[in-house]
Amino acid sequence: MVVRNIHKRLITRLFLGWIALSVVLGIAAFFIKLEQIDDLVQDLAIAESKQILKDKRYFSPNLSEQEHRILTERLNNHIENGNFTVLELYDAEVKKLFEVDSKNADAMDAHDNYIEPKEKLGKANDSMFTDNITYERFFVHGRVFLQYVVPLFDGSHKKYGYLEGVYRADDHIMEDIWNIVIESLLLVVASVFATAILFYPIVMAMNKDLIKLTGDLSDANIGMLESLGSAIAKRDSDTSSHNYRVTIYAVTLAEELGLEVEEMRRLIKGSFLHDIGKIGISDNILLKPGKLTDEEFEQMKSHVTHGSDIVGKYAWLKDAVDVVANHHEKYDGSGYLESLRGEDIPYNARIFAIADVFDALTSKRPYKEPFSYEKTIEILTESSGKHFDPKILEVFIDLSEQLYDKVRKSEDEVLEKIMHDLVRKFFYTMNHS
């Protein structure tokens, strides 16, 4: 399951990386193509403007009114039959000689929404009047427009004027433009996808040893968890079954309560290691058959502190501290060590306290014989709201008889198998990370 989840996470990350990289490179490719589109549209505009500039009379200094009207009519014909929406001619001193524009809806929108606002912002037309071709691209209703200025030179390289035009890409040009853009974007997406597919087996091959090491480390951690818990449990008796039983009780109750997976893992660790602090308690106290003196009981209570210190120093175990440190707290605040009350007691500790006392009452100890199931439930019920969270206890009591029959009467080998199944369920198969 660890390998399957790593495969799943790698595929997800490669997919997200493919999307992100495709977007970034796609945007870059789009702007690169826009530069090429500018060149394409500019070449078309200049080619069309050359037809206009064949007639040098446009720049004659002494035109009659009739000649001016005839030439203006010719410019209007160019606009009606070509792709220009604005044509303006200037002499070398940037004095306007002719100006015509289209009444086409797109052309008028281009003038109202781009050219006129630009002029109002102080971007004067003469800022484009240089010795080189200058242009600005803009879009209106998804169509490319190019406003450009061409300096005009005679055969002796003397400048005699300027042509300013706003060129509108027609439907055929726009189709070519979008084909160029779409082809470029598809090429980028396909290239990035192919790269991701290529990298997948490479990354998995590189991670093969790491995956194995991760699994081995998880097994080692869980093995250490069981070994530590069992070693401490055997100090109370000749078997580690107590740890198996309380963990099974606690986890079954927690599942019924709807605990999240991560909290389940914390509960399993805490359940198995709840008494690890007893390593610091002498056998004279731990195995005493009779009632402890007040002094002995104070020493016994210190196992909570010892346990918290032990698990708190190990990164993989420190999230078990809430159970280890608080499983002897009581709902009414009369427990130890902090005398926490009600919901101030960590939720996992409230769950575990019920499982721990249930097993203690139904088990043989050096100082007592086991109570019957009925007597145990009677004691638990009397302690509702005092020792135990009443809501959690109510859920446990509904489960308790079935649990008692299944768990309490089972041999160690059966308990160990049930426990191992729980570990696999919550540490391997559910959102393992």
Active site residues: 278
Question: Residue written as tokens 């159970």?
Answer: 323
**Calpha distance 395→255 (Å, rounded):** 11
Least Cα distance to 249 among 234, 222, 235, 268 occurs for 268
What does 78-103 look like in DSSP terms, one character per residue? HHHHSSEEEEEEEETT--EEEEEE--
**Calpha distance 37→426 (Å, rounded):** 58
**Calpha distance 223→71 (Å, rounded):** 96
The beta strands (E) that lie in 202-348 are given as none
3-state helix, strand, coil in the chain (%, to 5): 65, 10, 25
* Cβ atoms of 323 and 352 closer than 8 Å: yes
* Cβ atoms of 144 and 169 closer than 8 Å: yes
**Calpha distance 311→306 (Å, rounded):** 9
3 state DSSP class of 152: strand
**Which structure tokens are listed for 164?**
């300013």
Report CA-CA distances (Å) from 254 to 11, 349, 390, 418: 33, 11, 15, 16
Alpha-carbon 320 to chain mean position: 27
**Calpha distance 220→218 (Å, rounded):** 5
Cβ neighbours of residue 230 closer than 8 Å, sequence gap 6 or more: 240, 243
* Cβ atoms of 193 and 18 closer than 8 Å: yes
Question: Residue written as tokens 């060149």?
Answer: 39
